[in-house]
């Protein structure tokens, strides 16, 4: 039993993606733990683009957390 299905139906993966973003935002995890240098939203607020976290924000978070990736799936999909 693989931990991750090989092919996830688009609706399910999109919902999981949105849920992961919402969870991260609510608890200020991941890129949401830092202010966005691009759209200047404070920590805990979603980027103004809504669909994605700005690259600069993700980079800032990565620098402040020594490159630790807590949610590989989320990072992979956001590329």
Residues that bind Zn ion (CB under 5 A): 36, 38-39, 47, 54
Nearer CB in complex with Zn ion: 8/48: 48
Nearest distance from C-beta of residue 57 to Zn ion, angstroms: 5
Q: Which is nearer to Zn ion, 12 or 49 (CB)?
A: 49
Contacts of 38 by beta carbon, 8 Å cutoff, 6+ apart: 47, 54, 55, 56, 57
The distance of closest approach from Cβ of residue 47 to Zn ion in the complex, given in angstroms and rounded to an integer, is: 3
Shortest Å distance, C-beta 68 to Zn ion? 21
The phi and psi torsions of 61 (rounded to 5 degrees) equal: -65, -40
Largest CA distance in the chain: 43
First-to-last C-alpha distance (Å) of the chain: 27
Judged by beta carbon, residue 39 or residue 78, the one nearer Zn ion is 39
């Amino acid at each position: 039993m693989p931990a991750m299905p090989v092919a996830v139906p688009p609706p399910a993966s999109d919902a999981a993606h949105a849920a992961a973003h919402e969870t991260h935002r609510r608890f200020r995890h991941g890129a949401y733990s830092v202010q966005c240098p691009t759209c200047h939203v404070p920590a805990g607020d979603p980027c103004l683009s809504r669909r994605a976290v700005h690259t600069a924000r993700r980079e800032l978070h990565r620098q402040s957390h020594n490159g630790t990736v807590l949610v590989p799936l989320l990072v992979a999909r956001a590329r």
